[in-house]
Amino acid sequence: MDNITIKQILDPVDPKRFWLHYWGKKHLVIRRNVFKTLFKWNDFSNVMNNYPDNLNHLQVLDYDSKGTTWCLNKVKTGKVKLPMLSKEKLFKMWTSGKTFVLPSAEYTKEKFVAICDELERYFSRGTVNIYCSSKKDAVGFPAHSDQTENFLFHTEGKVKWTIYENSAPNREHGKVVDEFILEPGDLLYIPQYMYHKAESLTPRISISIHFANKKNQSLKKFAITAKGKGMYRPRWNNWIPENLHFNKKGHKTNEVPKRFRMGGSNWKKTYFNNLKK
Ligand SMILES: [Fe+2]
């Protein structure tokens, strides 16, 4: 499995500096290109073409233009009384500009598992939610705060972010303290409870990887779990066969044996010769 370290995740910000100055206190924007390809439009297209299979948690925000969220799982199980959507209808909703959310998407990419695996040394178990919008000004969330520590990896388009001075349980978000535009490759850290807002300026993909804090975690008594010793997370397996061919001696080889290659002893030109006739 890909081994990703906290140093790579926060680069060029030193992890110690992050814990001392930002964790739980201040938002942080890191601009670089390392995680630019975490989840791109073709990944979204591949996932969505599975609809309605393997997409239990799919959500459509503002499904009815009255603020209702449509959730495949809840519709299927009858928890929410909304109609089931055909693939074509869902696609129309997408092209009309609705925002789609792919929650609990940890296992759609090896790198998501690797990032969770590393950050779970410092936090509790993580979740990956992918926010995708096909248009500018797609409906997202108004100013709100979350109960988790949030790492937002931006991979497609541009999103304007607004950060407010207050944190929950304050009822009001208060004054704007920062506004900025995230572009592919950028990472934004938002401390838990801090009020924030995201607005799509173009079609976009934002990946939220969020974690609850460990119980009693503090700078004075800072607990770091050894790699691989954290709470149980099923590992990422590489299901691609390692050796697809055997050589003449019966040894495994990744290369196609010569006799099967063009011009090899098993190569017959008859097919093409026939074509010439
Ligand atoms: Fe949020």
CATH code for the domain in which residue 145 is found: 2.60.120.650
Give the Å distance between the CA of 254 and the centre of ligand 1. 46
Specify whether 165 is located in the same domain as 259: no
Cα 274 to middle of ligand 1, angstroms: 65
pLDDT score recorded for residue 233: 87
State residue 259's pLDDT score.
74
Q: How far is the CA of 146 from the centre of ligand 1 (A)?
A: 5
> How many structural domains are present in the chain?
2
Residue 233, domain member (yes or no): no
Residues 120 and 255 in one domain: no
Asked if 265 and 150 sit in the same domain, the reply is no
In a domain, residue 239? The reply is no
Residue with tokens 């066969």: 241
Does residue 120 share a domain with residue 254? no
Pair 207, 254 in one domain:
no
Q: CA triplet 154, 158, 164: central angle to 5 degrees?
A: 80
pLDDT of residue 137: 80
- Quick one: 116 exposed, middle or buried, by C-beta within 10 A (0-12, 13-18, 19+)? buried
- The reply to whether 223 falls in a domain is no
Residues 138, 42, single domain; the answer is yes
Are 207 and 266 part of one and the same domain? Answer: no
Examine the domain organization and report whether 197 and 256 are in the same domain.
Answer: no
Q: Amino acid letter at 39?
A: F
Q: What is the pLDDT of residue 171?
A: 86
Token look-up 């090899």 returns 264
Nearest Cα residue to 39 out of 104, 136, 96, 105: 105
Question: How much is the pLDDT for 263?
Answer: 74
Domain-embedded: residue 1? no
**Identity of the residue numbered 97:** G
Region label for 247, one of left (φ > 0), alpha (ψ between -120 and 50) or beta (otherwise): beta
CA of 60 to the centre of ligand 1 (A): 16
- Same-domain pairing of 197 and 260: no
Residues 145 and 261 in one domain: no
Q: What is the pLDDT of residue 243?
A: 67
User: Residue 277: its pLDDT value, please?
Assistant: 52
Same domain as 158, residue 111: yes
> How far from 58 is each of 47, 82, 207, 274, CA to CA, in Å?
10, 14, 14, 53
Give the C-alpha separation, 245 to 223, whole Å: 47
Q: Is 208 helix (H, G, I), strand (E, B) or coil?
A: strand
d(CA 138, ligand 1 centre) in Å: 15
Burial 215-240 (b: 16+ CB within 10 A, else e): eebeeeeeeeeeeeebeeeeebeeee
User: Could you tell me if 199 and 73 lie in one domain?
Assistant: yes
Low-confidence ranges of the chain (pLDDT < 70): 1-2, 243-248, 252-254, 257, 268-277
Q: pTM for this one?
A: 0.86
Q: What's the gap in Å between 145 CA and the centre of ligand 1?
A: 6
Task: Using the mean position of ligand 1's atoms as its centre, give its distance from the Cα of residue 127 in Å.
Answer: 13
Question: What range defines the domain where residue 256 resides?
Answer: 245-276
Which helix (H) or strand (E) element contains residue 232? none
